[in-house]
């Protein structure tokens, strides 16, 4: 069975603090996550077996072990498998993700991100994108859209 990758951003997906406000900090010293978004992510992770790969620019300031502790503290049911590599010649999230998918020959994946550069993906890749909004994150509407896309792309 081929692996199915979840390419996951944090800001605008699980962290929904408006850009003009400072993040609220949890007791573990890291930014608070929107618990509704976490619950939706957990529901998705219960339904489908994903390897989580973090695409957030925040991946450059913490280790994988630190992020996995943060996820555990917020009751996220799956650990992060890895980080999308930092490709210094890539100027946008779109370029980073396309390079990652090509380099690691990933066929089955879902992207959950709020980065508008992903609107420029070709139709093949855009069909695997859940584009969230900064202040709403991975809300119920985006969760339902993810279920539909996964079933259409992978499982039916």
Q: Are 32 and 49 in contact (CB under 8 A)?
A: no
Tell me if residue 21 falls in helix, strand or coil: coil
pTM for this entry: 0.94
Reduced to 3 states, what is the DSSP secondary structure of residue 83? Answer: strand
Per-residue model confidence as pLDDT tens digits over 84-136: 999 999 999 999 999 999 999 998 999 999 999 999 999 989 999 999 999 99
The pair of three-digit structure tokens given for residue 100, joined into one six-digit string: 């990652």
Max Cα separation, the chain?
44
Q: Is the pLDDT of residue 156 over 60?
A: no
**30-71 pLDDT per residue, tens:** 999 999 999 999 999 999 999 999 999 999 999 999 999 999
Ordered domains of the chain (ranges, CATH): 8-17+25-155 (3.40.50)
């Amino acid at each position: 069975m081929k692996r199915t990758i979840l390419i996951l951003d944090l800001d605008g997906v699980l962290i929904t603090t408006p850009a003009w406000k400072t993040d609220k900090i949890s007791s573990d010293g890291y930014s608070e996550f929107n618990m509704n978004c976490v619950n939706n992510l957990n529901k998705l992770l219960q339904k489908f077996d994903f390897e989580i790969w973090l695409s957030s620019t925040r991946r450059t300031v913490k280790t994988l072990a630190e992020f996995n502790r943060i996820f555990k503290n917020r009751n996220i049911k799956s650990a992060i498998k890895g980080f999308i590599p930092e490709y210094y010649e890539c100027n946008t999230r779109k370029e980073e993700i396309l390079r990652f998918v090509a380099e690691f020959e990933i066929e089955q994946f879902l992207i959950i991100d709020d980065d508008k550069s992903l609107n420029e993906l070709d139709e093949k890749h855009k069909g695997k994108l859940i584009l969230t909004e900064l202040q709403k994150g991975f809300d119920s509407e985006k969760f339902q859209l993810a279920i539909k896309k996964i079933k259409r792309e992978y499982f039916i």
